[in-house]
Amino acid sequence: MNPDLSPLADALAEAEVDGYLLDADSGESDQLYLSGFDAPDPFVTLYTPEETALLVSGLEYGRATEESRADEVARLSDYGFQEKVGEYGRTEGKHRVVAEFLDDYGVESVAAPERFPLGTADGVREQGVSVEVLDEDVVTEIRAVKTDEEVEHVHAAQRANEAAMRAAEELLESATVEDGVLYRDGEQLTSERVKEEIEVTLLRHGCALDETIVACGADAAGPHNRGSGPLRADETIVIDIFPRDKSTKYHGDMTRTFVKGEASEEVRRRYDLTREAFEAALDAVEPGATGKEVHDAVCDVYEREGYDTLRSDPAADTGFIHSTGHGIGLDVHELPRVSPEGGELKPGHVVTIEPGLYDPEVGGIRIEDLVVVTEDGYENLTDYPIRLELA
Amino acid sequence: MNPDLSPLADALAEAEVDGYLLDADSGESDQLYLSGFDAPDPFVTLYTPEETALLVSGLEYGRATEESRADEVARLSDYGFQEKVGEYGRTEGKHRVVAEFLDDYGVESVAAPERFPLGTADGVREQGVSVEVLDEDVVTEIRAVKTDEEVEHVHAAQRANEAAMRAAEELLESATVEDGVLYRDGEQLTSERVKEEIEVTLLRHGCALDETIVACGADAAGPHNRGSGPLRADETIVIDIFPRDKSTKYHGDMTRTFVKGEASEEVRRRYDLTREAFEAALDAVEPGATGKEVHDAVCDVYEREGYDTLRSDPAADTGFIHSTGHGIGLDVHELPRVSPEGGELKPGHVVTIEPGLYDPEVGGIRIEDLVVVTEDGYENLTDYPIRLELA
């Protein structure tokens, strides 16, 4: 993968600095993206308009040379790390190594992200390097536009997601109902049990996830409530799954809402309306449209039928009380925004579209697919039926 | 849980600052420990010898009030966040809020960890707050001594680990051998398949993990090689599992080495010697002993029989080529060290004991249990048989 990093070069020119510096492990997605190197411990990446160079421990040197996208890889020992630790102590020794590494590339001033480690910044400043915070998410913005390979990674994660949603739906479908509560194999069917089934299915498809939402009834009315306890018939059950492919590190994301048994008239009404809002949002997705316009399309549908949105009432705690969507990739939430602040959509942007309605008295409803913006519209990366009632 | 934070108060007095500041999500274990608050997005924790106070978004306020161990919880809006964003922009607005929050507690100077975000540090410095890096792992050292409750959390994770090891061992035991390769259900039994079984078992016990080691033959000779491909008979298979309990966030850790079929004489010899080194290390664990002494006990056993260690040859790439162990808790690797740098062991320290021998020609061997240092020795938190050959 060879991303177009010219916006970063432009930002450095604008800030009048020689390079961009990262010091993080690959859990920080900008680091993983810029270095192309997946490592559990922090390492240093220097980007200049001429080249990308890494500074790693001896332990990681071989792998960094083979796997990273850097033009050059240096070892701490190349700059006399052990000797410097002996002379100046571990902390200052390390900072002197980083400063010499920068000097090697003719770099006297760097920009760094907001969350760059203070110790390294103050340490290399002591050595005469100028460090300033780059007050824009330039790398994150570059990451928002996916290459074909990245879109394929998201697509693959979404396919695993479909298998997990199917497993969850089958569990609900095969459940029996006693006194309004779902049962399976003689035991109450709980949110926890359905989540376990989802996680096991994802594992078998090479994906992992930290959390899943399986929320029933009033639980489902809090958009971020993960849900717990026995599932009940005739109430909405929101299932929101956002797995990460363990090898590529890209995410999928999908939500469906089910009712085991019979939905009330109001639930049915809200579901159909959410489906309509969902389609309206998709219809609005195309290059040149803004995330705000897509979000407004959803608000228009809901407000027309008298439901609150955060647009009609910023203090609303029922109705449509979140954004329409978000970018997704190495992070489960990333740019671009599909919200009141959402800017222009570009080909290669991968976003969720997930309108929903919430009310503790009625339950929660949300429908979510994942799409990629194309040259002339969008392609839906999700292939999963949208239906409410399970017999 | 109410940890004894007096060493942090002492360090602040020594550094002549008013407080200790964190700005991180709870993925950073010092933040989770000090705040007692598990949140996916960064928030601010201020520790002073008088109190611990959090600064969180409105979204997290209710939960932080209920769940954190802080004496006080403030919201961004308490300091006019939206108004300040309007006036100064998002970045400076946030920094002004943090500075006012500090001022509210009479804090004019703070220490912060090495990896504290540069943006926040420079931002509050602009507002007149003095920020310096505390060049010691004070909180991490406090975390090394576990309360009874924390020991119980580690113990529970280790029990899940035992179930996972059993599932893996049963898979190897039930395999058949054809042309030197293991088969199960008509398919080659691979590292990947065994890892999947381990992960699924852990999930069903409320634990998650990012990685597992199931490494056979020459793979097993690299202590950090995760292993891949078909497993072979009559070769060593190292299984190292380090799960994290999803609810408590504490880790377990255990390694066993198996041979499906018959071990060579050299493998048997190395295994017995590793067992002896393992017992020697355990015998050395008691309060007042140092991690270095425990590590030396292992080196003594290996060197006596003519195997290299990093003590006898710092450049060795076969033999005993890693440390004897490490602390474990919220992080899978934390203080104290059981290595040449290991200091005094104290009651409540939880450490792994994991000697091993490596040689690509012979394979890898490692045996690892998890123990807690007690007032008069140690208690082994692991209950799993140690045996080499599987029929």
Question: B28, B110, B118, B317: which to substitute to probe chain A, counting the most A Cβ within 10 Å?
Answer: B118
The percent of residues in chain A predicted with pLDDT above 70, rounded, is 100
Q: What is the CATH number of domain A145-390?
A: 3.90.230.10
* Gap between the Cα atoms of B383 and B158, Å rounded: 9
Q: Is A196 on the interface with B (CB under 8 A)?
A: yes
A204 contacts in B (CB within 8 Å)?
A: 196, 200
Domain residue limits, chain A = 6-142, 145-390
* DSSP-derived pairing of the beta strands B109-112 and B130-133: parallel
CB-closest option in A118, A196, A210 to B117: A118
Is CATH 3.30.70.260 correct for B6-142? Answer: no
Domains B6-142 and B145-390 share a fold: no
Q: Is A115 on the interface with B (CB under 8 A)?
A: yes
* Residue A218 pLDDT level (bands cut at 50, 70, 90): confident
CB contact under 8 A, B119 and A114: yes
Amino acid at A391: A
Q: Is B119 on the interface with A (CB under 8 A)?
A: yes
B200 contacts in A (CB within 8 Å)?
A: 200, 203-204
- Across B128-150, average pLDDT: 94
Q: Is B133 on the interface with A (CB under 8 A)?
A: yes
CA distance A306 to chain B (A): 26
Structure tokens at B13: 């007095």
Q: Is A343 on the interface with B (CB under 8 A)?
A: no
B42 contacts in A (CB within 8 Å)?
A: 115
- Across A186-191, average pLDDT: 96
CB contact under 8 A, A118 and B135: no
Give Cα B358 to chain centroid, integer Å: 23
CA distance B203 to chain A (A): 7
B118 contacts in A (CB within 8 Å)?
A: 112, 114-118, 121, 131, 133
Lowest mean pLDDT among A45-49, B221-225, B240-244, B301-305: B221-225
B208 contacts in A (CB within 8 Å)?
A: 208, 210
- Quote the pLDDT of residue B1: 66
pLDDT tens digits for range A77-135: 999 998 999 999 989 999 999 999 999 999 999 999 999 999 999 999 999 999 999 98
CB contact under 8 A, A114 and B115: no
* Gap between the Cα atoms of A217 and A258, Å rounded: 11
* Gap between the Cα atoms of A209 and B122, Å rounded: 35
CA distance A117 to chain B (A): 4
- Quote the pLDDT of residue B59: 79
B210 contacts in A (CB within 8 Å)?
A: 208
Give yes or no for a contact between A72 and A47, defined as CB atoms under 8 angstroms apart: no
* Gap between the Cα atoms of A167 and B1, Å rounded: 39
CA distance A126 to chain B (A): 13
pLDDT tens digits for range B195-230: 999 999 999 999 988 789 999 988 888 777 789 999
B111 contacts in A (CB within 8 Å)?
A: none
Task: Pick the closest to residue B168 from B247, B251, B227 (CA basis).
Answer: B227
CB contact under 8 A, A133 and B113: no
Q: Is the per-residue pLDDT at A352 higher than 70?
A: yes
B114 contacts in A (CB within 8 Å)?
A: 91, 117-120
Which single residue is written with the structure tokens 């916006």?
A: A7
- Quote the pLDDT of residue B218: 87
B120 contacts in A (CB within 8 Å)?
A: 114
CB-closest option in B117, B133, B204 to A115: B117
Q: Is A131 on the interface with B (CB under 8 A)?
A: yes
Structure tokens at B148: 């009874």
A199 contacts in B (CB within 8 Å)?
A: 203
pLDDT tens digits for range B163-191: 999 999 999 999 999 999 999 999 999 99
CB contact under 8 A, A133 and B119: yes
CB contact under 8 A, B208 and A210: yes
B204 contacts in A (CB within 8 Å)?
A: 196, 200
CB contact under 8 A, A115 and B113: no
- Quote the pLDDT of residue B220: 84
- Quote the pLDDT of residue A2: 75
| Helix (H) or strand (E) run with residue B43 in it | strand B43-47
Q: Is B207 on the interface with A (CB under 8 A)?
A: no
CB contact under 8 A, A121 and B116: no
- Taking residue A178's Cβ as centre, other Cβ atoms within 10 Å add up to 10
Q: Is B126 on the interface with A (CB under 8 A)?
A: no
- Quote the pLDDT of residue A1: 66
Q: What angle do CA B233, B237, B243 make, to 5 degrees?
A: 145
Q: Is A135 on the interface with B (CB under 8 A)?
A: yes
pLDDT tens digits for range A222-243: 777 789 999 999 999 999 999 9
Q: Is A317 on the interface with B (CB under 8 A)?
A: no
Number of helices and strands (H, E) in chain B? 10, 22
Task: Pick the closest to residue A350 from A378, A383, A308, A323 (CA basis).
Answer: A378
What is the count of residue pairs from A and B with beta carbons less than 8 Å apart? 64
- Across A209-213, average pLDDT: 85
CA distance A123 to chain B (A): 10
CA distance A317 to chain B (A): 12
| Secondary structure, 3-state, B74-92 | EEHHHHCHHHHHHHHHHHH
Give yes or no for a contact between B308 and B316, defined as CB atoms under 8 angstroms apart: yes
* B96 Cβ contact partners less than 8 Å away, ≥ 6 residues apart: B79, B84, B88, B127
Amino acid at B284: A
**Integer Rg of chain A from CA:** 24
Which single residue is written with the structure tokens 């893996």?
A: B168
- Taking residue A122's Cβ as centre, other Cβ atoms within 10 Å add up to 19
* Gap between the Cα atoms of B24 and A95, Å rounded: 22
CB contact under 8 A, A208 and B208: yes
CB contact under 8 A, B203 and A204: no
- Quote the pLDDT of residue A140: 93
What is the chain A residue with the closest CA to B27?
A27
- Quote the pLDDT of residue B224: 73
Q: Is B118 on the interface with A (CB under 8 A)?
A: yes
CA distance B361 to chain A (A): 21
Q: Is A265 on the interface with B (CB under 8 A)?
A: no
Mean pLDDT of all residues belonging to chain B: 95
- Taking residue B257's Cβ as centre, other Cβ atoms within 10 Å add up to 27
CB-closest option in A27, A112, A204 to B118: A112
- 3-class DSSP state of B34: helix
- Quote the pLDDT of residue B315: 87
* Gap between the Cα atoms of A296 and A341, Å rounded: 11
- Quote the pLDDT of residue A222: 78
* DSSP-derived pairing of the beta strands B207-208 and B212-216: unpaired
B121 contacts in A (CB within 8 Å)?
A: 118, 121
Mean pLDDT of all residues belonging to chain A: 95
Interior/surface letters A290-317, b for 16+ CB within 10 angstroms, e for the rest: bbbbbbbbbbebbbeeebbbbbeeeeee
- Quote the pLDDT of residue B207: 94
Give yes or no for a contact between A124 and A102, defined as CB atoms under 8 angstroms apart: yes
Q: Is B3 on the interface with A (CB under 8 A)?
A: no
Q: Is B62 on the interface with A (CB under 8 A)?
A: no
Q: Is B113 on the interface with A (CB under 8 A)?
A: yes
pLDDT tens digits for range A301-351: 999 999 999 999 988 889 999 999 999 999 999 999 999 999 999 999 999
Give yes or no for a contact between B206 and B160, defined as CB atoms under 8 angstroms apart: yes
Task: Pick the closest to residue B291 from B223, B365, B224, B371 (CA basis).
Answer: B371
β-partners of residue B357 are: B365
